[in-house]
Amino acid sequence: MRAGGVSSIEARAFLLRGSSNEAVPTLPHEHAYVLDLGSPFGGQNRLLARGAQAGDHLCVFDRPLQQFGCELLMPGDQRLTLRNDPSWAPLIQLSPVTSTTYDLRVEGVPPLEEMLQARLYPEYGVGGAVITLTQDIDGYYGQFTLDYPALAGHIHLWVDEPSSETVPRREVIVAYSVGGNPGLNRTGGGLNRAGGGLNRTGGGLNRTGGGLNRAGGGLNRTGGAPVVSPDGQLTLVLSDELELAPGEFYAVQSMAGLPLLPPGKTPIGQAYNLVASTAVLSDPLGLSGSISVQYLGNDVLLAGAEEEELHLHHWDGSAWLVLPTLRNTTYNLASAPGRGVGVYALLAGVTVPNLEEIWPAAGTAGLTTTLAISGSAFLGPMELALVGESQVYTLPVQIVSSTQLSVTVPAEVEPGLYGLRVVNGDGGTDVLLDALALYRPAVGCFYDFFESGAGAVGPRRQLGHHRPAGRRAGDDR
């Protein structure tokens, strides 16, 4: 699939099949169904497309390598040309409004001259109508309106531009699943879905307090039962006390792209976006619970990572946060407390912070002092300590951004010269020697022997207020 190399561990393949009308499909979005083929095993450049037929479209999307492509299959086809385009990395978010209405928002796409379009394919049934997205200051948005609830399926997004086998158009497919309480109409105890869906009668299937959602073999409910991602690799166990009223939803969606990762981080497997309706967000319990992600040992090996360095991370829309992760290397399972809505990703590697400057570099002991610390690669939750000759003070630190910290030094800190040590949430550490000098309160003294007159007399400037930034550990100065 990729000349001169292999696919990444995140590469994903899909078959698009069938016709939504009598016309023979010539473009991928004209098909009626989407079939998920999974990933090439072991980072190979070969994919076994089981059940592929002439007339299907085969699509492959490889986010880390920034390549993608779709091709109409013909007898004897054995090769698929992928297009490399670093600018095509859409961040797709599907938000349930009702059981048949979903808002779609796409960010990370540069302004386009062509139309950006999308189609939703239910897990059980034919794909819905094509929608054209509208551009605003934050990206693009649109809304799907369905004839019946589609609690699991795929979203197909593409740019309406010319396409060929050698230069494929820009497009991507992501999976989603919706949980909560859709308030589906149920009669006779059965669940009836149109469009090729599931129809059980004679007492069938009757569940209350939550709808039926099958994704990757999983069953989504509320009240303590697990929420499962479309591929079955992520599991969110909600609080037993969480009760959702009819029409309250949450959704788990696989990610076609990721926000910029902290330095030194490598994604392991698929990342997921958890979104929810406004009513769910206003609940004090929200989507609290525990998150577990299954990973492949081969993915860790191909990334050149160590399992001990694997941590679940959460993106809240503005910053990444390392979650306290429990790893089961026997079952290749990573678990952590959930943080509600946002992006969850299993990342390998350690982000090492870089301390550059502290201001002010000196202060007076016995007074509360607020320090502004600049640098890079700060990753929460962080620990910060002032390290003296005989004392170490661990202080609460506020992460303003990945390049700025704020800390308040209390009046109880003894006078002395202190180094500054910071530790990222994944253990990455940096030390700045002789970073802060705290002096004893100075007694006012006069030093010009009154030669300049009474109006010029003033207190002596404390030594150190304009000293350069401290030395880094290992400096020879």
Query: DSSP readout, 58-119?
Result: EEEEETTTTEEEEEE--TT------EE-TT---EEEEEEEETTEEEEEEES----SSPEEEE
Q: Same structural domain for residues 202 and 118?
A: yes
The pLDDT score that the predictor gives to residue 65 is: 76
Q: Same structural domain for residues 344 and 362?
A: no
Q: Same structural domain for residues 339 and 388?
A: no
The pLDDT score that the predictor gives to residue 278 is: 62
The pLDDT score that the predictor gives to residue 204 is: 39
pLDDT digits (tens, 9 = 90+) for 326-345: 999 888 999 999 888 889 99
Give the range of the structural domain holding residue 427, as residue numbers without chain letter. 354-472
Domain-embedded: residue 278: yes
The pLDDT score that the predictor gives to residue 474 is: 55
Domain-embedded: residue 48: no
Helices (DSSP H) in 265-353: which residue ranges? 278-282, 297-302
The pLDDT score that the predictor gives to residue 143 is: 95
Q: Same structural domain for residues 114 and 232?
A: yes
Average pLDDT across the chain, whole number = 78
Last residue of a domain, one of 287, 321, 348: 348
Please answer whether residues 213 and 178 qualify as being in contact, where contact means their C-beta atoms are separated by less than 8 angstroms.
Answer: yes
Domain-embedded: residue 131: yes
**Among 150-154, 248-252, 403-407, which stretch is predicted with the lowest mean pLDDT?**
248-252
Domain-embedded: residue 12: no
Domain-embedded: residue 146: yes
Please answer whether residues 382 and 339 qualify as being in contact, where contact means their C-beta atoms are separated by less than 8 angstroms.
Answer: no
Per the model's pLDDT, the better-predicted residue between 17 and 310 turns out to be 310
Per the model's pLDDT, the better-predicted residue between 149 and 8 turns out to be 149
The pLDDT score that the predictor gives to residue 465 is: 33
DSSP 456: G
Please answer whether residues 42 and 11 qualify as being in contact, where contact means their C-beta atoms are separated by less than 8 angstroms.
Answer: no
Q: Same structural domain for residues 339 and 369?
A: no
Please answer whether residues 296 and 332 qualify as being in contact, where contact means their C-beta atoms are separated by less than 8 angstroms.
Answer: yes
Write the CB contacts of 380 (distance below 8 Å, at least 6 apart in sequence). Answer: 319, 320, 321, 322, 399, 424, 425
> Using 50, 70 and 90 to split pLDDT, how confident is the model at 187?
very low
Domain-embedded: residue 463: yes
Q: Same structural domain for residues 173 and 306?
A: yes
The pLDDT score that the predictor gives to residue 133 is: 94
Q: What angle do CA 361, 365, 368 make, to 5 degrees?
A: 80
> Using 50, 70 and 90 to split pLDDT, how confident is the model at 23?
low
Q: Same structural domain for residues 303 and 224?
A: yes
127 vs 19, 85, 156, 176, CA distance in Å?
A: 10, 27, 10, 14
Last residue of a domain, one of 314, 348, 382: 348
Percent of the chain with pLDDT over 70: 73
Q: Same structural domain for residues 140 and 249?
A: yes
Average pLDDT over residues 403-418: 94
Q: Same structural domain for residues 327 and 423?
A: no
Q: Same structural domain for residues 153 and 253?
A: yes
Domain-embedded: residue 95: yes
Q: Same structural domain for residues 231 and 344?
A: yes
Provide the CATH number for the domain around residue 464.
2.60.40.10
> Using 50, 70 and 90 to split pLDDT, how confident is the model at 2?
very low
- Identify the CA nearest to 118 among candidates 151, 147, 94: 94
> Using 50, 70 and 90 to split pLDDT, how confident is the model at 439?
very high
407 vs 328, 363, 386, CA distance in Å?
A: 36, 14, 11
- Identify the CA nearest to 236 among candidates 119, 340, 317: 340
Please answer whether residues 135 and 114 qualify as being in contact, where contact means their C-beta atoms are separated by less than 8 angstroms.
Answer: no
> Using 50, 70 and 90 to split pLDDT, how confident is the model at 459?
very low
Average pLDDT over residues 185-209: 38
Total number of domains constituting the chain: 2
Q: Same structural domain for residues 197 and 280?
A: yes
The pLDDT score that the predictor gives to residue 43 is: 52
pLDDT digits (tens, 9 = 90+) for 213-266: 333 333 344 445 577 887 888 888 876 666 666 667 778 888 877 888 999 999
Write the CB contacts of 388 (distance below 8 Å, at least 6 apart in sequence). Answer: 414, 416, 417, 418, 419
- Identify the CA nearest to 302 among candidates 59, 86, 64, 47: 64
Tell the burial category of 24 from Cβ atoms under 10 Å away from its Cβ (0-12, 13-18, 19+): exposed
**Among 39-53, 111-125, 369-383, which stretch is predicted with the lowest mean pLDDT?**
39-53
Domain-embedded: residue 174: yes
